[in-house]
Chains A and B, each alone.
Chain A
């Protein structure tokens, strides 16, 4: 087991290095950072000096390894546009993104699972048809359109919810901030969370429905019915429980995507999270922030995959044998 974990950790480091290198190759195509750091009147001699200072004249591969060497010591450099340490900037934005991802996940689970169960059990009812139609909308409408429509309905027309920002935040400990403890913060998170959760909800609903239908055909369900158990017990004790194993896996893996894809939702709602910071940094060619953010997201995926693998090993005895055998 320990050998397995160590092997996976080494592979993970390989993935991170690869992400760092690929990112740096791509940065050559996003434009000249110096151009965003000085005014248009700044003469060329000063621009050249600044390029030299930032090490932008070195070959890409040298820049990438320099970045990785610093990153290994958790030093991500100083942002070109804000002149602040990147780790602090990302750290300050992280709570906003993680909170949004967390609330959106909960929302999608709390609505997606019951809807999935209902559509599986009452396939013919009008409500089930409505849920399925809704799920199509959730899958096909792009996130930013949903966000903008929500803003126009609930902020502009009805005036119920704020259209941008995170509201008032409360500091917890030295670096975590939360908007979940203030009225304005709670109001602010509703629309971004719905926007982010909609796709996940649809996914979960369809997954639960499909799995549930599959399980309901299984032999042990028929035997449970034959034993004379109540429908309720059959559906929720036996069927749903077995349905949830793949659902939990998918939800876990999707958590990474929620964090990564919150970029669009954050931009639409001016949510002060990492995604908005990343988009700003792309526009400003702020290479230290872009590189650190991409590494962070890669790290997140790597960790989630590692945890999922370990959980599989814990759950599935066949896999455990394979690991020990190796």
Chain B
């Protein structure tokens, strides 16, 4: 019996998803009343639900967008980002570069941690050290060879070994810890995995942010209350925020429709019409920053999963272009994504790169595709395996199925392997020896600009993964790497974008290193009495929420 229980979990999860759709269809005829179950309490409480659980209240423990963005309610960084992702002063009021290797930050005065301690330069120095302790997943926030030096109580210098105009790009998520509090409670190290005692910071928090952590029951419920002594003028009118993970799609939708929650993410595609039809709720959709794309193994002399032996067809740019032109992204957008996707020409969202509009996708043209395959020596096509996650991105498996059908029309026979993310990533990433020939992946540049994509996905790598370690297919063009590095040294935004333009042109159009597909759409379900601001990076910022 136990054995029976173990095996079919992935299948079960999919069955649940299917059942929820079935039930929605069945219940479709029912007349909905916007009935509210819970009478509003005196205090203004925001009830928020997400499909996953909050894995860590110690933001250093996991580099995952959900826990990082929720974490900013408690822990603030030196900077923060506004509704359009623009960098704003936060715990630092201003900064200057004395020279390209020497940055100076002036800290905000009069800021207090939730326990009443004053925020000073010591806390910044301490937090920078904490980033590099065992168990921290945020080590790349500050390079390990960067010196962080206290100048006075409210001035900190960062001394780099090489210029980095993007130094602050991810610092919204680098929450500053109190040195004294961390030392008092043995929380000076990020939650280390081999700890024998439960780490204090995994259940308790002490930041400077707009909300104070009241309680955290892992995987069940997390409660925050308003910080009455916050240094900034609150833009929200909340007294309390309650977060509950609701993994079942149908239940999450039902909870929103019945008024038991005010805000949830995501609304599954098939349920969006219902949420909009309900008088009290609506879907807030917008383009997300993540780009979904296909990649090819261009590194091995022979593909690991194909019937072509002795050579690697993906080393030939004509084959890669043939694959590109055989895929009808418009059809994927309308049929698979129900219109909720933005076809992409680059591996970066248009809102993050000023010259995106100058690029158009290579046109869909099955005839040209067949011709290219013929020229490359595969007039009859060939067989190759496509690796795809089935629980990571919106409709990931369905996208791959569509791709299989489209490539079949030009003679390419695809063997589709769709797996849960835990297995998929274990196999195709460096730890699994990049074991794939053709794969689907999504990428959001954590720094919100092009360099991050080049650094991780386009830069050459060796077999061990040194270099662009998420460049799974091993695309490599030294000229592109040179341009990307040149851009990194260029402090002027406009000039930098011009350099990236050349690099994008080579990597995606001349070399067809990847097939960009689309940016999926965000879909939040919100009650109409709640006013939230949706940022394209899918951040959940409680400090911007107002309730009627």
Chain A interface (Cβ < 8 Å from any Cβ of B): 19, 22-23, 26, 30-44, 46-48, 50-51, 53-54, 78-85, 88-89, 92-93, 142, 144-145, 148-149, 151-153, 155-165, 257, 260, 263-264, 267-270, 272, 276-277, 279-280, 282-285, 294, 297-298, 301
Contact = CB atoms under 8 A, between A and B. Distances in A.
Interface stretch (B232-240, B252-260, B489-497, B518-526): B252-260
B198 A43 contact: no
Contacts of A39: 62-64, 137
Contacts of A277: 219
Contacts of B218: 79, 82, 84, 89
A145 B260 contact: no
Interface string B38-75: 10000000000000010110100111100000000000
Contacts of A149: 23, 26-27
9 contacts: A42-B63, A50-B193, A82-B55, A145-B22, A165-B221, A260-B1, A264-B16, A272-B219, A279-B247
B98 interface: no
Contacts of B2: 19, 22-23, 294, 297-298
Contacts of B193: 37, 50, 53-54, 78, 80, 83
Measured as residues with beta carbon below 8 angstroms from the partner, the interface class of chain B is 35 or more
Given A41-B140, A84-B203, A163-B255, A78 B195 contact: yes
Contact of B422 (A19, A48, A283): A283
Contacts of B219: 82, 89, 272, 276-277, 280
Contacts of A268: 16, 248, 250-251
B311 interface: no
A282 B35 contact: no
Contacts of A294: 2, 6
B430 A53 contact: no
A270 B426 contact: no
B264 to A, nearest CB: 11
B277 to A, nearest CB: 12
B220 A47 contact: no
Interface string B1-15: 111011101001101
B368 interface: no
Contacts of A279: 9, 247
Contact of B244 (A34, A53, A164, A280): A164
A88 B139 contact: no
Nearest to A157: B30
Contacts of B254: 148, 151-152, 155-156, 163-164
Interface stretch (B335-343, B374-382, B393-401, B463-471): B463-471
Contact of B425 (A35, A260, A276): A35
A142 B12 CA distance: 12
B245 interface: yes
